[in-house]
Amino acid sequence: MRTHFCGLIDESLIGQTVTLCGWADVARDLGGLCFIDLRDHEGIVQVVAEPEQGVEGNAEVIATAAKVGYEDCLHVTGEVRRRESPNAKIKTGQVEVVARRIEVLNKAEPLPFHAHENPGEDIRLQYRYLDLRTPEMQRKMRTRTKLVQALRRWLDARGFQDIETPILTKATPEGARDFLVPARMHPGEFYALPQSPQLFKQILMVAGFDRYYQIARCFRDEALRADRQLEFTQLDMEFAWVSERDVQDTTEAMIREVFKEVIDVDLGEFPRMTYAEAMRRYGSDKPDLRIALELVDVDAQVKGSEFKVFTDWAGVDGGRVCALCVPGGATLSRKQIDEYAAHAAKYGARGLAYIKLSETGEVSSPIAKFFGDEQFAALVAHVGAGNGDIVFFGAGQYATVSDFMGALRLKAGKDFGLVEAGWKPLWVTDFPMFEWDAEEGRYVALHHPFTAPAVDDVDGLRANARTAVSRGYDMVLNGNEIGGGSIRIHRTAMQSAVFELLGIGAEEAQAKFGFLLDALRYGAPPHGGIAFGIDRIAALMAGTESIRDVIAFPKTTTAQCLMTGAPSPIPDAQLAEVHVAVRPKTAG
């Protein structure tokens, strides 16, 4: 239907006849002279319908143009000429198309919103096809496409094999709740949608495929937020006969080259930092290194004070007392400080102590009275505070304090304009093998149950489970975890021991993971891998906070698709075919 794209019409085509298809972005009737900004996915070009002597059918063209409305679908044939008044804001701004024929392929009814408006997200998602039609959403989605294409080219050129794994699989506990699918041919039994291809890619290493990848769809039935969806896409990779550094060096090179190709950004070398150091300095296992602020431990400086909140936790095993100095923070009002306290409370803080130093050195602090003059001065000096600064303090269990002080660090960095421009990548390594779940009274895997411990000794792992370090690693970029992986357990005895420490008995392990345990018995090679979040990387490349902006048809935070109305009730007859009945919701 067309010879050229609207957004690619340029001066090289002057004097030529072109045929275009697109939507009327703007239509202006000036009384016998009509201008239409015609838009397709490549951009906009100006179409002119004007009276010309000796041009047969010209009056009909003008009449058609005069009736064109916003977002009408058009088919236009005309001659390219140079514009008298160029428009430097668009790629095609040096030329225009003089219409010889205009066909309205489909009239658009009045739209629920215009492209230049900023409607609420619910409206955008309900009319997603209109939202995706806008130039900004087209740009974001094309960035995602370029990302996936670049990743495939890189991997294909280096001998990685693209192998699909099942979507209908066995329910296995991997950290989140499974989506279950009733099996019509097996009454009372269910498939699960994969949380990841984890077990299958390990099986592929046992099978001798050596280097695997897949742009994989994954499903997790968990609470949603801006950076989480029920269904998401990851680049899944696995390598045989590798160490941590082999995986890290290969994938680091890939990400550097892909960022350069897609958005012309040089990420440079990736520094490495242990999990323990990241939590100590930044209160996060995915620290945003663009913010120079760091947490400072003050256990020794507060031990002799009379402030019980501090002394109860200072020097205690599993406790932490630390400070965050915010340069220029003395400008915060009491109301704003209360807002910081409320923000910290979301992450587990029970209160937020502070010291505020005015530009003249005057101290404003609810905790100063609990310290002697020399001790207070030593505390202020230790955290590096000066006139005009504010210092926030946290005390409590190590993990909780790290969480809320890390959250304060991010908020202060953004509020005070301390986020450095550019890109800051990082490898975080040496994660704990387990976390202790006090409510359940058992260990849980920090990564997943198939991550290898740093110690290659079953008895040693059992004896030191609480402090055991794993062979896991994450790639972090600007405070976002964009990839995570590990060296896997490749021996049955070690895998069985890890299951046991996680409270998964031998019978349950065989029922849920028997196929993996069996595979490890038959010469499974050492192997490891990583998975990268395509949605998150695409969002970073496109410059947007929410991954919903780079997913064509995302769910809302209430797990709904507003465009299709999913989820929706299913007729009883259809449910009966899969041997399922819906129980009525009980009160309370």
Helix (H/G/I), strand (E/B), else coil: 500 = helix
Using alpha carbons, list the distances in angstroms from residue 258 to 152, 251, 264. 10, 10, 9
413 assigned ligand-binding residue: no
534 assigned ligand-binding residue: yes
99 dihedral zone (left: phi>0; alpha: psi -120 to 50; beta): beta
Which amino acid is present at 202? Q
535 assigned ligand-binding residue: yes
221 assigned ligand-binding residue: yes
447 assigned ligand-binding residue: yes
222 assigned ligand-binding residue: yes
- Long-range Cβ contacts of 467-470 (<8 Å, 24+ apart): 467/432, 468/432, 468/433, 468/434, 469/430, 469/431, 469/432, 469/433, 470/430, 470/431, 470/432, 470/433, 470/446
Task: Measure the CA–CA gap between 131 and 140, rounded to whole angstroms.
Answer: 12
| Strand order from edge to edge, sheet including 211-219 | 161-162, 211-219, 231-240, 527-533, 480-487, 472-477, 425-429, 272-274
Residue 385 structure tokens: 């505070």
Alpha carbons within 13 A on the beta-carbon side of 454:
15
Task: Measure the CA–CA gap between 466 and 398, rounded to whole angstroms.
Answer: 15
Cis peptide before 453 (omega within 30 of 0): no
Task: Measure the CA–CA gap between 490 and 494, rounded to whole angstroms.
Answer: 8
536 assigned ligand-binding residue: yes
339 assigned ligand-binding residue: no
220 assigned ligand-binding residue: yes
- Do residues 387 and 358 lie in contact, with contact meaning Cβ atoms separated by under 8 Å? yes
Locate tokens 């935070």: which residue? 557
174 assigned ligand-binding residue: yes
Identify the H or E element spanning 205: helix 198-206
Alpha carbons within 13 A on the beta-carbon side of 193:
15
Using alpha carbons, list the distances in angstroms from residue 166 to 191, 194, 269, 389, 461. 11, 8, 36, 56, 33
Helix (H/G/I), strand (E/B), else coil: 129 = helix
Q: From the annotation, which residues make up the binding site for ATP?
A: 220-222, 229, 481, 533-536
Q: From the annotation, which residues make up the binding site for L-aspartate?
A: 174, 220, 447, 488
Q: From the annotation, which residues make up the binding site?
A: 174, 220-222, 229, 447, 481, 488, 533-536
